[in-house]
Chain A
Amino acid sequence: MSELRWNPTLEEWVITATQRQDRTFFPPPGYNPLAPTQLGGFPTEIPAPSYEIAVFENKFPSLRSHPLDPSVQGTELMPVLPAQGICEVVCYTPDAEGELARLPLAKVEELVYVWADRFEELSTHDFVKYVYIFENKGKEIGVTLMHPHGQIYAFPFVPPIPAKEMGAARRYFERTGRNVFADILTQEMADGRRIVSQNAHFAAVVPFYARYPYEVHIIARGERTAISEFDAGERTALSQILKTVMEKYNNLWNRSMPYIMLMHQRPSDGGDYGFYRFHIEFYPPYRTPDKLKFLAGSEAGAGAFINDTHAEATAQTLRETPPL
């Protein structure tokens, strides 16, 4: 059963999705649901002998466009709503052994176009308030299906973290008349120590306030608040810097780097969010080649992250890691 339960102590929704307990869990080779369907073979999610990029509604969704009734009765203090929304799976390549970092640049650029198209299409639904594009990569993150893919959650509310970012950005604008992300970029470009890579339209930085040792943010240099706003040149530039960052991650310790990759952009209501700025965040969980950064008591319970490294040091390491 699936529903939204309100937490009055944090003023946020929690999504329950008990049907996800039985979702696909490390299927054996030959039973990969994201592979193309071969003649006489296991019927996968994609009934074609090949594909380039395929997007489909998740078979085990947390949110549905036609949700079931909640399984519990809410109260005035703790209301309950149907878990309405849309969950999509984005299959990057038919190659089960592939990964985004190793795809040709043209394929990464196609994915940028696909993301923009999904953002626009999902935004047309009245019940969608926020389109969240992300990728969980690696067993360390909890991935149970290794075929290279990402996901899109079209939420019926603006989730807490983007909401908090937008609130901070709005207050900064009201106070200063300036965009906080633009000011951050100006400072970072002048300083240089935390720059990982840059091109005409984007900068990749380990943020001054990084919570993960090798956290990277890719920030739009232009006044863009959603992926659908980028022109062709900006989409090319985004695919280039994405591939650069992901390749640097893989070259850091000569192995495929697990991470969470996510997009923060404006809500889907088409409103004016000029005080905000499109950006992508990467959270790789490793702090050394063999040590994970866990979200333990301080992070998970208090929301106070402790970073065992300095952003300037890890940014230098990434900057000096190929591709240069």
Chain B
Amino acid sequence: MRLEKKRVLKEDGRYLVYYHSAESASEEQRKAFEEIAAEAVTVGANCEPTAESAGKASAEHV
């Protein structure tokens, strides 16, 4: 299973993490995830970088 996550900061300083699975997301969910402006895009736990995400994967890759 491959998951991506995007972490954002709310106005009050709390963090919010969105998790996304390209395999099972609906079109609406995929679009919503793509449109999130985030501090970092990382590849989630126990998955291998895809060809397109490899360039975006940070040192935080688990």
Contact = CB atoms under 8 A, between A and B. Distances in A.
Interface of A: 36, 45-46, 48-57, 59, 94, 104, 106-107, 109-110, 113-114, 116-117, 120, 228, 231-232, 235
A114 B21 CA distance: 11
B18 A51 contact: yes
13 contacts: A46-B16, A50-B26, A50-B28, A50-B32, A52-B25, A54-B16, A55-B19, A106-B23, A107-B24, A113-B45, A113-B46, A231-B46, A235-B1
Interface residues of B, number: 28
Contacts of A104: 24
Contact of B46 (A49, A57, A232): A232
Contacts of B20: 52
B18 to A, nearest CB: 5
A270 to B, nearest CB: 14
A110 B1 CA distance: 8
Contacts of B21: 52, 106, 110
A135 to B, nearest CB: 17
Contacts of A55: 16-17, 19
Query: Which 5 pairs of residues, A with B, have the shortest CB-CB distance?
Result: A57-B14, A56-B16, A50-B32, A117-B45, A53-B19
Given A114-B19, A228-B45, A109 B1 contact: yes
A45 B1 CA distance: 27
A49 B29 CA distance: 8
A120 B24 contact: no
B45 A120 contact: yes
Interface string B1-21: 101010000100011111111
